A and B are shown apart, each in its own frame.
Chain A
Amino acid sequence: MEKTDLLFAHELFMRLSANIETVIKGQKENIRYILAGFAGGGHILLEDNPGTGKTTLAKALAKSMDARFKRIQFTPDLLPSDILGVSIFDPAKKEFKLHKGPVFTHILLADEINRASPRTQSALLEAMAEGQVSIDGNLLNLEDLFFVIATQNPIESRGTYPLPEAQMDRFAMQLELGYVTRETEALILSEQSLAHPIHSVLPCVSLEEGLKLRRLVGEVFVSKELKEYIVALVTATREKPGVLLGASPRASIALMKTAQALALFDKTDFVGPDHIQEIAVRVMAHRLILDPRLKFSGVSARTLVEEILTSIPVPV
């Protein structure tokens, strides 16, 4: 990889990061991960309590890119055709005409995704995994750059359905924003006194630049030992007692790609063990299904993955 490419990627990351930070305060780390997810070609799921800035963050990212952006507000009565599109009979031409749904876009914000029934959510499975949808038996390709950023409240909240495991697996990572510090929150208040800063966000990255970033991520070198380390981490989740469903090979791929993106953001053309450890919990935890008994004994998927991280020797 050329030095200029490294510099370009780093600069692009800084630009995007700064642009989003004008809207979202105190989430520098999560912005880095979101961008890593985006650059690695994965989709992102933001899960947190209401009012922590999930939608704002997602919108800020979408607006920062000069790309088509659609939003679906997931409601309990949403239907699969509301996402994918539907064929409608045109009486004038006497034929069916396909009205494409919001899924035909570059960036798709699936807001409150777990408020729709699993039936509706499953409409997204094919689109997220393969970048294509089948409508009325026709195969339609989505855009080259197709990126889903979804938000949801924890499943304990009222009016939510748990996402199907297959859907969860299609998200490269799940992020939790958490509450910001008191000072930051005070800053947010003062900034929003006149108008919401989201309205003043302007695109700073073109579609081509976004695609180039994704291409560069693939060129980041991953040594054989670190690939083995990734596989060791992922397979450990399958062998851990009390885990009903471990992380999939798709998790291994996502872990490698996001680590590659992080390496690129750090201006290196190779992945280091730190990059993998940094992102491991966020990439793997949401895919695990734990035995209820284990859950009641106070173990969460996050702590379980952290435990795995401390139990497997890292190559240095």
Chain B
Amino acid sequence: MTIPQSHVAALRDAAESGVSFDGLSVTVDDETYTFATPDERHTGLSAADLADIAAANDAYVTNWHYWTRIDRTDSEQEFLRWLEHADELAVPERYDSLSEDGLTRLWGELSITTTLDAGKNEDGDGDQRRYSIRHEDDIGADHAELAVYHDPLDAREVAKHDDDGRYRPLKTAPTLQTGWAFTDLNGRALLRTIDFLYPATVHNWYLERHENLDVSHWRETAQRQTGIYDLIEELDGEQLEWLTEACCVDSQCLKRRQWDESADEPLDTPRGDGVFPCREPCSLVIAVARKLTLLEREQTHEYTFELTPSEKEQLETLIDTVADGHTEEIREADADNGANRYRARYLRAKRFDEHGQLSGAPTPDADTEN
């Protein structure tokens, strides 16, 4: 077993003030070193002895070096350690897993795998971990089947469109395209890549773990708005329930909603099970809220329609199908499904008049401009 000479030198230097990290303990007293792990303890070591013992315990030493000698922010450090279960797995166990298949965590739709790659880094640059990312749906895929990237900046294009080529205005929508992988990343490149795929999620996750997440609830967010958005303050609590059910549940966004109507007025809509938090209503929710606020200014009217029971059910099915995003899944000849295109066209032919009005019932002028 070998470790870079620079690691040994760094360990000797650090011993002056005492090393205590992930089970490794190294101290020095009068140029005599003590080296201990949970499994062994060596005292009375010369510098040369220390180098030998360090080499024999390379996992502990490289682990210490990787986590204490590389420039990272607190959130980056905590996230990268979370990825390899550093708080749960002791070093030998962790290194066994890292050097075999690696350790994998899910982050939204991302599958992130940490592996050891000591062999490539004999120069002691500290990159003893390598990271790779792919879509969780591609976990079993061969590299040859995937478009492989190494530059974090390429993540911007990956994040832009879904598998059907549609633009994704919301980065954390569960519609990330498949068929790609970022491989052989160092920690910094991994974090930059995630930051383009799911901006700010790592930092906000970190803040939440330390109970420092700055949540902006709906009322203060709405109150902050100006210009064309200042009117969203009109939405009431019930309408906010509908809005969050429409936009913020797991089927629409992978962030876990931590904001409510206000700190004292929780919303009943499920917050979601996402690993990273949502700290305030996003710009997409604000934009949708604006349209809904305008529409909610209208008064209801009574209409008289005649529909067969099946036609009424068909309208319900149509709305469900659009709301759940399942229109593409309905087979061409599936006449049993009310949202089938032929069924919908038949209903339109039968129930719409020449002005496109249901059962010929006139639509009253909207009471407001929207």
Whether A and B are associated in the same complex: the answer reads no
Report which A residues bind B (CB closer than 8 A): none
Give residues in B with beta carbon < 8 Å to A.
none
